[in-house]
Structure 1
């Protein structure tokens, strides 16, 4: 059990789903989507390019100013959601997500739709 989170693409032509990224117990990112999109367990959110850009900027701000983590992207508590510390694990998640959202800026959004989903 635990928090599993995915970014995936839907090919608008073939309707095929492609896993783009996976996170395990990155509760701060889950909190972002719950707070900003009222995401429920097993729900999905379409992520538009504006959200990708906003998240990339936010994640980079934390990468270069780790002392701002608690204010900019606080941990989010839930059942089996992992660590609530701003430690190496938290910052590893931040680095991975920053890379993923950087590359997501170059997705062809005319052909693909990007989604976020999670379950616990």
Structure 2
């Protein structure tokens, strides 16, 4: 039990699914998607390159201004959603996601769709 989140690619011609990134109990990222896209359990959000860039910029701002974490990307409560502290674990997730979303800006969006989904 717990919060599992995935970024995955779906190839447009073959519908092949490729796992791009995985997060376990990164509740702040879950909160971002719930608040901005009304994401429910097991729903998915198709991400455009603009959305990826916007999220990358937000994550990068949290990286460089950690004192604003609670304002920019607050923790999000839920059943078995992990820690609600702005600690080393939180900032490790921020750093991982910033790197993942940075690289996602260079995906061939003519060939692949990028989705976010979560399960809890």
Normalised TM-score (structure 2): 0.99
Unpaired runs of at least 5, structure 1: none
The number of aligned residues is 120
Residue 2 of structure 1 aligns to a residue in which SS? coil
- Name the CA distance, whole Å, in 1 between partners of 2:82 and 2:24: 8
Unpaired runs of at least 5, structure 2: none
Corresponding residue for 2:30? 30
Residue 76 of structure 1 aligns to a residue in which SS? coil
Normalised TM-score (structure 1): 0.99
Structure 1 residue 17 corresponds to structure 2 residue 22: no
Alignment of 1:1-120 (within 5 A): 1-120=1-120
Instruction: Write out the 4+ residue segments of structure 1 that deviate beyond 4 Å after TM superposition.
Output: none
Deviations 1:57-110 (A, max 9, x none): 000001011001000000000000000000000000000000000000000000
Residue 92 of structure 2 aligns to a residue in which SS? helix
Deviation at 1:13, TM superposition (A): 1.1
